[in-house]
Amino acid sequence: KTQVEQSPQSLVVRQGENCVLQCNYSVTPDNHLRWFKQDTGKGLVSLTVLVDQKDKTSNGRYSATLDKDAKHSTLHITATLLDDTATYICVVGDRGSALGRLHFGAGTQLIVIP
C-alpha cells in the first residue's frame, strides 16, 4: 500500500499564478518530510525539509507546512515561473539516523504556461 500520496497528480497554471501541492502520508514514525524538485530527465533537488510536529519553512518563492498530527504537508509556490515546470516529490523519512528509510510519493507534475 502506498504510504505517501500526493495530489493533484498534475497541475497546469499560468505564469505568475500561485499553486499548492498536497502530501498525505501514513509513514510511522515520521521523523522528517522533504520536498524535492525534479526537472525532466534530471535528478532530485531538495527544496526544503520539515522536522517539527507543526512546522513551516520558507525558501524564496517556495513555502511549506507540515502537520504531523494530520500527517499532512503542503508546498506553496508563489508567482510561478516557466522554470518551475517540473515534478515535485514528497519524501517522508521514518528515522533521522543511518537506519532511517525514505518513503517517496509518486510526485505532482506541475506545468507552468505563459
Contacts (Cβ under 8 Å, ≥6 apart) of 4:
23, 24, 25, 26, 27, 90, 91, 92, 103, 104, 105
Nearest to 84 by CA among 111, 45, 57, 44: 111
56 binds other proteins per the rule CB under 8 A: no
Site string for other proteins, 9-48 (x = CB under 8 A): ----------------------xx-x-x----xxxxxx--
DSSP 8-state symbol, 36: E
Q: Which parts of the chain fold into alpha helices (H)?
A: none
Considering beta carbons, is residue 64 or 89 the nearer one to other proteins? 89
Of 112, 110, 108, residue with least CA distance to 9: 108
Binding map of other proteins across residues 71-90, x = CB under 8 A, - = no contact: ------------------x-
Q: Pick the binder of other proteins from 14, 28, 97, 114 (CB under 8 A).
A: 97
- Return residues touching other proteins (CB under 8 A): 2, 4, 31-32, 34, 36, 41-46, 49, 51, 89, 93, 95-98, 100-107
